[in-house]
Structure 1
Amino acid sequence: MSVLVVYESMFGNTEAIAEAIAEGVRREGAHHPPGTEVAVVPVAEAPSRLPDDVTMLLIGGPTHAFSMSRESTRADAVRQGATGTPRIGIREWIDASEPRADLPVHTFDTRVHVRMMPGSAAKQAAIALRRKGFELAKRGESFWVGGKDGPLSHDEIVRARAWGAFVAEALTPA
C-alpha cells in the first residue's frame, strides 16, 4: 500500500504544501496498515500509469488564470521570476494518465488570497480527473499564498499537515 502525492510548483509554495500534506499523512500513518509508504513527486516525474500498490493519490498545483496552469501561464510565471517551472503541469499529467476508477483521489491547490476571487486548480483538477475516469476524485483543499510568488499565508503549512492527516484517515481500516 502506498500514498502518492503529485505536485506542480513554480515558486516553491505548492511544493511546500505537498511536503506538509505528506507529513500529515505520515503522522496519521501510525493508524495505517503496516508497510504504507508515502511518496512525494513533482508532476514531471509522476508515472502516467500508477502502480497497483498506490491506494490513494493526492494531486495539486497552483491556480493560474482561475484554473490549472497551461504552457502559456507557466511561461508567464518564468517571466515573473519563477524558478521551478515544470515541463508539464497537472493538466497535462491528467490528460496523459491511465485512469483507475477505484482509486481515491484528493486534489489541492495554492491560490492568492483575494476576497471573492473565483477559480480553483483543485476544483478543475477534480473535474478533469473524473472525466478521465478517476471516478473517486474529490476536490480537496485550497491553501493561500500572499501573492503570486508567496509567501504562504500564516499557518498554511500547519493546515496542510492537518488536511493530510484528515485524508489519511480514509486509509485506516475500520
Structure 2
Amino acid sequence: MKVLIVHESLFGNTRQVAETIAEGLRQGLAPELGEVALVDVDQAPTSIGDDVGLLLVGGPTHAFSMTRPQTRQEAAAKGAASSRQGLREWIWAVTPRESLPVVTFDTRVHVRMLPGSAAAAAAKALRHRGFDRAERGETFWVRDTAGPVVEGELERALRWGAELATRVAHGVS
C-alpha cells in the first residue's frame, strides 16, 4: 500500500511540514507495508491509483481557507513561488474514490482568535467531491506569511506522521 501526500506550498513552509510528515510515516512504516510519495499539487495525479491506501492533502491557509488565484497572486507579489493551481482546483479536478481514507493538514499564521483553516475547507470540499472518508487532520503554525515554521512544529509533524503510520499498519486509516 502507498501513502500519497499532495501538498501546496508557496513560501516553502507547507512543503517543509509535508516532508517532515512523510519522514515520520517512513520511520513508522515497515517497508513491506508500503511507500510514501510526496507530490506538489502542480504535479498531482487527477486519478488516485488503487495502490494508494491513504491520501494526505495539505496547504497553506490564505484568507481563512484554501488558496485562490487572487491570494496566490498576492503571495507571488511578496516573493512566493508561483503555482499553476492550488488545492482548491486540484480537488475539483481529481476523480473521487469514496472508500479512500483522506486526512488533511494545513499551515497558518498563529494569530489569536483568527478563524479559518485550509485543512477544514479541504476536508469539506473533498467530502463534497465524493471522498466520503475525508477528515480534517492537523494545523501547523508558522510565524508569518513567509514563515518560518514555529519552533517545535516540525517535531510535532514528525510525531503526527508516525501516528499516521500506526493507523496504516493497523488498517485503521
**Separation in structure 2 between the aligned mates of residue 67 and residue 124 of structure 1, nearest angstrom:** 6
1:68 is displaced (CA, Å) by 0.1
Question: Could you tell me which amino acid in structure 2 is paired with residue 44 of structure 1?
Answer: D
Aligned to 1:57: 55
The superposition leaves residues 67-126 of structure 1 with CA deviations (integer Å, 9 ceiling, x where unpaired) of 0000000000011111x2221000000000100011110000000000111000000000
1:35 is displaced (CA, Å) by 5.0
Aligned to 2:18: 18
Aligned residues: 171
Aligned to 1:72: 70
1:1-174 residue pairs with structure 2 within 5 A?
1-30=1-30, 34-82=32-80, 84-173=81-170
1:168 is displaced (CA, Å) by 1.9
**Separation in structure 2 between the aligned mates of residue 25 and residue 92 of structure 1, nearest angstrom:** 26
Q: What stretches of structure 2 of length at least 5 have no aligned partner?
A: none
SS in 2 for 1:149: coil
**Maintained 8 Å contact 2:47/2:95:** yes
SS in 1 for 2:148: coil
1:2 is displaced (CA, Å) by 0.3
TM-score, normalisation: structure 2: 0.96
The superposition leaves residues 105-159 of structure 1 with CA deviations (integer Å, 9 ceiling, x where unpaired) of 0000000000111000000000000000001000000000000100100111111
**Separation in structure 2 between the aligned mates of residue 139 and residue 55 of structure 1, nearest angstrom:** 17
**Separation in structure 2 between the aligned mates of residue 53 and residue 163 of structure 1, nearest angstrom:** 22
The superposition leaves residues 48-81 of structure 1 with CA deviations (integer Å, 9 ceiling, x where unpaired) of 1011100000010000000000000000001111
SS in 1 for 2:29: helix
**Separation in structure 1 between the aligned mates of residue 100 and residue 167 of structure 2, nearest angstrom:** 12
Q: Which runs of 4+ in 1 moved over 6 A?
A: none
**Separation in structure 2 between the aligned mates of residue 138 and residue 41 of structure 1, nearest angstrom:** 20
Question: Could you tell me which amino acid in structure 1 is paired with residue 99 of structure 2?
Answer: D
SS in 2 for 1:108: strand
Cα-Cα RMSD: 1.1
**Separation in structure 2 between the aligned mates of residue 169 and residue 29 of structure 1, nearest angstrom:** 7
**Separation in structure 1 between the aligned mates of residue 83 and residue 102 of structure 2, nearest angstrom:** 21
**Maintained 8 Å contact 1:9/1:85:** no
User: Identity over aligned residues, as a percent?
Assistant: 56
